[in-house]
Amino acid sequence: MLHKSVFLDIGALSCGCTDHALESLAKAISGEEGDAPDIWAQHESPFVRSLIELFSSRGLLRLEKVRDELNAWLEGKHHTPGTSTPAAPAPLNPARLDAHELALVKIYLENIPPAEFGAADWSLLIDYLVSRYMPFDALQTEAEWLAVRSVYMGKIQANVEKLPVVQADRLLAALPTTLPAARSTFDPPPVVQSVLDYGYARCADNVQAVTESTRHRLKRVIMAHEEQARLGARPPAQALQTQLFDEFATLNRDWRRIAVTEVGDNAGNGLIASLKPGTRVRRIEQYRGACPFCRKINGTVLTVVSPDKKDKDWDTEVWCGKSNIGRSGAKRKRVDDELVERTPAELWSIPAGTVHPHCRGIWTVLEEARPTDDPKFASWLDAHFAKHRKTPEALAQT
């Protein structure tokens, strides 16, 4: 095996910039930068596999609609000259056009001959397309069911260690989709309620970030192209198509990252929150493209402890909410003119959820699972299996 050293000249960088560069390198090595080859592979856990695919495909369909519609507008297919030219609408919030504003903007844009689209018109078109196909409320709803169902699939795994995909899917379909419904169905204990609330807030924020990114990326590419056209530089349409193709590929990956990472985080925390302190769990990181850190922690056995336990041991214990936020995958940081080793407390540890974006780490419960007392959820689960007249053990054989 050939070992190569690469020297980076970081002398001119500030400490903060150096750390940022080291962090980026660590992320690139871990595949966090989005080009890990297997982000589209189905998830290893049968408990969350279908959930991830469903969320991914619904988001990708929205992005596909934006792309197809944008192409139609670029080709001038929507141009319908009217008898009078309407005034340019001034939406209250361009990022969230309501139904009335969408209708007005559409009429306005359809009236403009494609060759006469100005910078503001292109910007308005992107706002229109994103508001129409990725509306704020609908995406918040997507984030909500993703969060609720992923937390409960983690809880189900804590109660039923093995389940074939088809049975997991049946449970998935039976789960509530909103926070209020989860509250009234399961009356969750405070720790689980907290996992649900924060899980939803995180998913909603990530989904919103992809929407913003869609607007920003598409505007940047279209504006650059149209500016060249306006200046008479005659940029090839092919170049625009190639750039848009790349942007949509990035957005698709961004969406997929939410599915894989948030579901992993919520299900991991849901599982740990549902196990009695003292239960032992084994970390499994067996998937193609696992980063060196995750390969190293594969097989590690940790003991579940309560989040409010004093002096928790980051090396041997895991608790609900244990995460790597604020910790680094880069072994060293810059202090003055030197690179110094980070202390263990500054480095990635084994979290309850995912180690980093795109991470697919999961847990297996070692001994007979010892679920915490969550009576309403337990009886819901019993009722589900009773309805299908099968015990979890019998279902595992099917």
Per CB under 5 A, the list member of 63, 294, 352, 395 interacting with Zn ion is: 294
CB of 77 to Zn ion, least distance (A): 45
Nearer of residues 73 and 363 to Zn ion, judged by Cβ: 363
With CB under 5 A as the rule, give the number of residues binding Zn ion. Answer: 5
C-beta of residue 272 within 8 angstroms of C-beta of residue 312: no
Nearer of residues 78 and 282 to Zn ion, judged by Cβ: 282
- E strand map for the chain: 280-284, 301-304, 317-318, 332-335, 338-341, 362-365
> Quick one: which segment of 231-239, 286-294, 296-304, 368-376 binds Zn ion (CB under 5 A)?
286-294
Nearer of residues 355 and 362 to Zn ion, judged by Cβ: 355
Question: Distance (Å, rounded) from C-alpha 388 to C-alpha 164?
Answer: 14
Identity of residue 62: R
CB of 364 to Zn ion, least distance (A): 18
Nearer of residues 175 and 294 to Zn ion, judged by Cβ: 294
Give the H or E element holding residue 184. helix 179-186
Question: Distance (Å, rounded) from C-alpha 132 to C-alpha 215?
Answer: 12
Question: Distance (Å, rounded) from C-alpha 87 to C-alpha 84?
Answer: 10
Q: Which residue minimizes CB distance to Zn ion?
A: 294
Considering only residues 91 to 130 of the shown chain, the ones binding Zn ion according to CB under 5 A are none
Nearer of residues 275 and 359 to Zn ion, judged by Cβ: 359
Considering only residues 349 to 368 of the shown chain, the ones binding Zn ion according to CB under 5 A are 355, 359
CA angle, 381 as apex, 376 and 385 as ends, to 5°? 145
CB of 272 to Zn ion, least distance (A): 18
- CB count in 10 Å sphere of residue 220: 13
CB of 54 to Zn ion, least distance (A): 24
- The string over 323-362, giving b where at least 16 C-beta atoms fall within 10 Å of a residue's C-beta and e elsewhere, is ebeebbbbeebbeeeeeeebeeeebbbbbbbbbbbbbbbb
> Quick one: which segment of 96-104, 160-168, 288-296, 316-324 binds Zn ion (CB under 5 A)?
288-296
CB of 23 to Zn ion, least distance (A): 14
Nearer of residues 270 and 329 to Zn ion, judged by Cβ: 329
CB of 359 to Zn ion, least distance (A): 5
| Phi, psi dihedral angles at 118 (to 5 degrees) | -100, 180
Helix (H, G, I), strand (E, B) or coil at 341: strand
CB of 199 to Zn ion, least distance (A): 20
CB of 269 to Zn ion, least distance (A): 17
Cα atoms in the 13 Å half-sphere on the side-chain side of 355: 28
List Cα–Cα distances, 46 to 51, 156, 390, in angstroms. Answer: 10, 12, 19
CB of 342 to Zn ion, least distance (A): 17
Q: Does 284 sit near Zn ion (CB under 5 A)?
A: no
CA 314 centroid distance within chain: 25
Q: Does 291 sit near Zn ion (CB under 5 A)?
A: yes
Helix (H, G, I), strand (E, B) or coil at 142: helix
CB of 382 to Zn ion, least distance (A): 37
Nearer of residues 152 and 293 to Zn ion, judged by Cβ: 293
Task: Annotate each residue in 30-59 with x if it binds Zn ion (CB under 5 A) or - if it does not, as one string.
Answer: x-----------------------------
Nearer of residues 30 and 167 to Zn ion, judged by Cβ: 30
Cα atoms in the 13 Å half-sphere on the side-chain side of 383: 10
> Quick one: which segment of 24-32, 57-65, 89-97, 157-165 binds Zn ion (CB under 5 A)?
24-32
Nearer of residues 151 and 294 to Zn ion, judged by Cβ: 294
> Pairing between strand 332-335 and 317-318?
unpaired
Nearer of residues 168 and 291 to Zn ion, judged by Cβ: 291
Site residues for Zn ion per CB under 5 A: 30, 291, 294, 355, 359
